[in-house]
Structure 1
Amino acid sequence: MNFQNRLFISLLFFLTLTTILLSSAAGAQENRDVLVLEISGAITPVTDDIVADAIAITENEGYEALVITLNTPGGGLDETLRITEMIPQTNIPVIGYVYPESTQAWSAGTLILISTDVAAMAPFTVIGSAQPVSVTPSGSEPVTDTKIVNALVERATENARMHGRNETAAREFITENLNLNSEVALEYGVIEYVAPSIEDLLEQIDGLEVKGRTLETAGAEIVYYEAPLRLGFMNIVSNPIVSSLLLLLGVYAVILGISNPGFGAEVFGVVAIVLGLIGTGFDVNIGAIFLILVGIALLALELQSPGVGVFGIAGMICIVAGSVLLAPTDFPRNYSPAEFQRTIIASIVTPTIIVGLFLLFAMYKVLEVRKRKPQFGEIIGDTAIVHKPITPDQTGYVIHRGEYWKARSAEPLEKGEKVVILEKDNVILVVEKLREAGNQ
């Protein structure tokens, strides 16, 4: 290859490499994507993990900013405080936005909004109602403990001061239960922008200096955050209503499994209870769990032994009382308006009472059957099926015409074997293995 050819190839290679580099630089300059994280519903023990994951993605993949849309009645205080701590610790601009129109970001949502680098609201949205309350049987009462209130007020005002926002309004969100719509919040200096859509908001904040960088968000591509499978699943089970219902469903499944072994209901119940505990962050009312466990034990005792229904009624009272205590409405762990807390209680207690009434009705019918004299005649000579194995030294159970009877036998009998009833000794049947004709 002569010198001219080598020179031509070298120039061609240089031009090609230069073109690729320039194209990459232009593409990088045009890559002004914005990640949008939607927080909708209660703030749960997994919400802070989702926010942390979204921040990490924004940092690692070079997004221009992170927009957190808020549409929440409130939620866990611990999770809320962790979220407000993450925002100043990242070098990525975090934009809080109450969206869509005609929604709200109350209590915990308000604390998050005033902690973001840029705060905005859609028209006809509302923030506020950050006053802590406790729900009692007679209604709701404001929390007046100065240790709690003063700590929240100081945290909220410091977050507002950090971003040059109205400290008085931040204080009155908590002390006076202040509520503001978007226009008034903008006028009072609680937020910086009112925008009807995310696209409009990105146009308005274009060129803004945030955390030492100039935002280039006009016309930026909007990418919505999708939680990984683990966090998505945890987000579902950590919903206060879902986690509490899982716990109660697990309790009733365990009861069903104890009364009717062999169908796997007890396994399902244990799984549901574990998921419910995970969803609540394992921070459950110990007294409530104790009452529910006592209720299970009493119901199991009622179902396994003849009685007059006293154990069953006491068991149901324990379970209903435990479910009331189990509803996650305690402050400061659950920082939500009273109306939302009452919704949680109704969602948990109502199905519990319905199921309880059904079980009490079933026990009443069982009690009637127990008191009723047999109407099917003598059972001597009838056949039955072994439900629980019987040995010469230990009694078991047989099923006769849909009823469970305690039984004994002089020979070992396995579950599923057919037996013939020889005699009835009080409430215990004496049985032997049924031998077919020709096998005597």
Structure 2
Amino acid sequence: MLHKCRSYLSTFLFLTLLLSLFSGNACAAGQQKVLVVDISDSITPVTDDIVADAIAFAENGDYEALVITLNTPGGNLDETLNIIEQIAATDVPVIGYVYPEGTKAWSAGTLILISTDVAAMAPYTIIGSAQPVTVTATGSEPIEEDKIINAIVKRATENAKMHGRNETAAEEFITKNLNLDAETALDYGVTEYVASDIPDLLSQVSGIEVKGKVLDTDGASITYYEPSLRLAFMGIISNPLVSSMLLLLGVYAIILGISHPGFGAELFGLVAIALGLIGTGFDVNVGALFLVVAGVILLVLEFQAPGFGVFGIAGLVCIIAGSILLVPTDFPNNYTPAEFQRSLIVSVATPTIVIGLFFVFIIYKVFEVRRKKPLFGELIGDMALALEPIGNGQTGYVLHRGQHWKARSSDIIEKDDKVTILEKDGVVLVVEKMKDKSKPEDQIDDEHDR
């Protein structure tokens, strides 16, 4: 009887364990997943690659939705349009979310937000300032060419219309630089939700229908997309500031390498320029590159040939002008507010000017050395002190103005004798025992003490 009870108990425990495993698997299988990809800083040539990779990851991983968090001053228009097309093409519901609190999604970021399937903002965030501008020598100027403005406005209003959003606000983002906070954007029908964080957002959107499917995101597990090493590296060098600085560092490294060969600076310069070009997507101002190359040639000429600094000054002017033009702020390739463009120009131009002033100092010193009388001629006739016996075919060292020189003499010179320098043969001084006693002994002793 006891044996039967033990057998029933074992069977019961086994069935209970099996049931718990099945129920656990069923719960795990029923839990939905949401992928989150972050777009922060400027939208660059690699940003659309990251979004495309994240969309493919969400499609293959059977994710319930993809959340794109936005915190950007804007960026490249071509890449922005590519991202918008990718959002429209995928079957995965895409939620745009300006996050975290206190951030912004200006210009290109606003265009992306109003093109997502669901648009949301965190409290105290801002969208807008989508009118394209260009930075000139006299300041920032809005671009008002009808062909450009009408094309962007039509794209923005059609995207807003597709998702049932405020078309007037979408137009005024571009034509009037409209800016909206989270609550106002919600009231105007530009966005659908205000959420404090991602779990709150997922809880609010759960149950709505997007792209033919009802979202089940309340309590869903959140996975944060991590780009591959290649995309992460490309994301660094495609930053407008980093790519511009790489180009400038490469230019100055080549100048240094040509002026002082043997240290491998030329190789570093070529690598830096190549990375800078890759970071900018090879879309570089040809005129700016010409100015930089011309500046390099003029500086090299200044270092290699005698002159009065004219080549050097002209070269520096060319490099500084070219470096400013290399900053990727031209529209429509770069679609960012004027303030960001000015900051970018200052960030690139300031180190260029500092390095330029350093080269001016070097050129001045080179010019000063060229005008200076050769020091070797000043040795002749000077007095020195023998530090060891010299003569009878034996060379020794003498002390002259605090420096040790190798010397030879036809005279017999003992240690501590005073000698006169007759000539310089290579690195060896030809001396004779001092016959002129007019030089005070204490002056010679002072030289010895030094």
Q: TM-score range by the shorter chain?
A: 0.7 to 0.9
2:179 aligned partner, one-letter code: N
1:27 aligned partner, one-letter code: A
Q: Which residue of the partner structure matches residue 54 of structure 2? A: 54
Q: Deviations over 1:326-378 (max 9, x none)?
A: 11110000000000000110011111111101101110111011101123436
Q: Matches of residues 373-384 of structure 1 in structure 2 within 5 Å?
A: 373-377=373-377
Q: Which residue of the partner structure matches residue 357 of structure 2? A: 357
Q: Matches of residues 201-220 of structure 1 in structure 2 within 5 Å?
A: 201-220=201-220
Partner of 1:169, secondary structure, is helix
1:370 aligns with 2:370: yes
Q: Which residue of the partner structure matches residue 232 of structure 1? A: 232
1:112 aligned partner, one-letter code: I
1:191 aligns with 2:191: yes
Distance 1:17 1:219, change over 3 A: closer
Partner of 1:255, secondary structure, is helix
CA separation in 2, counterparts of 1:27 and 1:300?
68
Partner of 1:334, secondary structure, is coil
Partner of 2:377, secondary structure, is coil
Deviation (angstroms), 1:157: 0.2
Please tell me whether the aligned partners of residues 247 and 273 of structure 1 are also in contact (alpha carbons under 8 angstroms).
yes
1:37 aligns with 2:37: yes
CA separation in 2, counterparts of 1:111 and 1:297?
44
Q: Deviations over 1:21-72 (max 9, x none)?
A: 7765543222x11111111101011000000000000000111111001010
Q: Which residue of the partner structure matches residue 118 of structure 2? A: 118
CA separation in 2, counterparts of 1:124 and 1:272?
40
Q: Which residue of the partner structure matches residue 387 of structure 1? A: none
Q: Which residue of the partner structure matches residue 282 of structure 2? A: 282
Q: Matches of residues 258-277 of structure 1 in structure 2 within 5 Å?
A: 258-277=258-277
2:122 aligned partner, one-letter code: A
Gaps of at least 5 residues in structure 1 are: 1-14, 381-418, 423-440
Q: Which residue of the partner structure matches residue 132 of structure 1? A: 132
Q: Which residue of the partner structure matches residue 141 of structure 1? A: 141
Distance 1:379 1:301, change over 3 A: farther
CA separation in 2, counterparts of 1:379 and 1:74?
67
Q: With structure 2 as the length reference, what TM-score do the two structures score?
A: 0.79
Q: Which residue of the partner structure matches residue 72 of structure 1? A: 72
CA separation in 1, counterparts of 2:21 and 2:294?
72
Please tell me whether the aligned partners of residues 379 and 421 of structure 1 are also in contact (alpha carbons under 8 angstroms).
no
RMSD: 2.1
Please tell me whether the aligned partners of residues 202 and 218 of structure 1 are also in contact (alpha carbons under 8 angstroms).
yes
CA separation in 1, counterparts of 2:41 and 2:288?
25
2:41 aligned partner, one-letter code: G
1:105 aligns with 2:112: no
Q: Which residue of the partner structure matches residue 200 of structure 2? A: 200
CA separation in 1, counterparts of 2:116 and 2:193?
13
Distance 1:65 1:379, change over 3 A: farther
CA separation in 1, counterparts of 2:301 and 2:155?
52
CA separation in 1, counterparts of 2:174 and 2:71?
19
Deviation (angstroms), 1:304: 1.4
Deviation (angstroms), 1:420: 4.0
After TM superposition, the structure 1 stretch with the greater mean CA deviation from structure 2, 15-24 or 226-235, is: 15-24
Partner of 2:42, secondary structure, is coil
CA separation in 2, counterparts of 1:187 and 1:16?
53
CA separation in 2, counterparts of 1:378 and 1:124?
75
Q: Deviations over 1:90-125 (max 9, x none)?
A: 000100000011111000000000000000000111
CA separation in 1, counterparts of 2:269 and 2:63?
44
Q: Which residue of the partner structure matches residue 253 of structure 2? A: 253
CA separation in 2, counterparts of 1:215 and 1:144?
42
Q: Which residue of the partner structure matches residue 28 of structure 1? A: 29
CA separation in 2, counterparts of 1:103 and 1:38?
13
CA separation in 2, counterparts of 1:341 and 1:198?
31
Q: Between Structure 1 and Structure 2, how many residues are aligned?
A: 371
Q: Matches of residues 338-417 of structure 1 in structure 2 within 5 Å?
A: 338-377=338-377
CA separation in 1, counterparts of 2:98 and 2:43?
14
CA separation in 1, counterparts of 2:267 and 2:379?
36
Distance 1:363 1:228, change over 3 A: same
| Structure possessing the higher radius of gyration over alpha carbons | 2
Could you list the runs of 4 or more consecutive aligned residues of structure 1 that deviate by over 3 angstroms after TM superposition? Answer: 15-26, 419-422
Partner of 2:189, secondary structure, is coil
CA separation in 1, counterparts of 2:81 and 2:288?
27
Partner of 1:261, secondary structure, is coil
Q: Which residue of the partner structure matches residue 5 of structure 2? A: none
Distance 1:202 1:421, change over 3 A: same
Q: Which residue of the partner structure matches residue 168 of structure 1? A: 168
CA separation in 2, counterparts of 1:25 and 1:146?
58
CA separation in 2, counterparts of 1:77 and 1:241?
17
Please tell me whether the aligned partners of residues 38 and 68 of structure 1 are also in contact (alpha carbons under 8 angstroms).
yes
Deviation (angstroms), 1:223: 1.1
After TM superposition, the structure 1 stretch with the greater mean CA deviation from structure 2, 33-42 or 153-162, is: 33-42
Q: Deviations over 1:177-214 (max 9, x none)?
A: 10000111000000000011111101101111111111
1:237 aligned partner, one-letter code: I
1:212 aligned partner, one-letter code: G
Q: Deviations over 1:373-419 (max 9, x none)?
A: 12343689xxxxxxxxxxxxxxxxxxxxxxxxxxxxxxxxxxxxxx9
CA separation in 2, counterparts of 1:196 and 1:24?
32
CA separation in 1, counterparts of 2:18 and 2:162?
47
1:29 aligned partner, one-letter code: G
CA separation in 2, counterparts of 1:22 and 1:126?
45
CA separation in 1, counterparts of 2:63 and 2:200?
18
Partner of 2:97, secondary structure, is strand
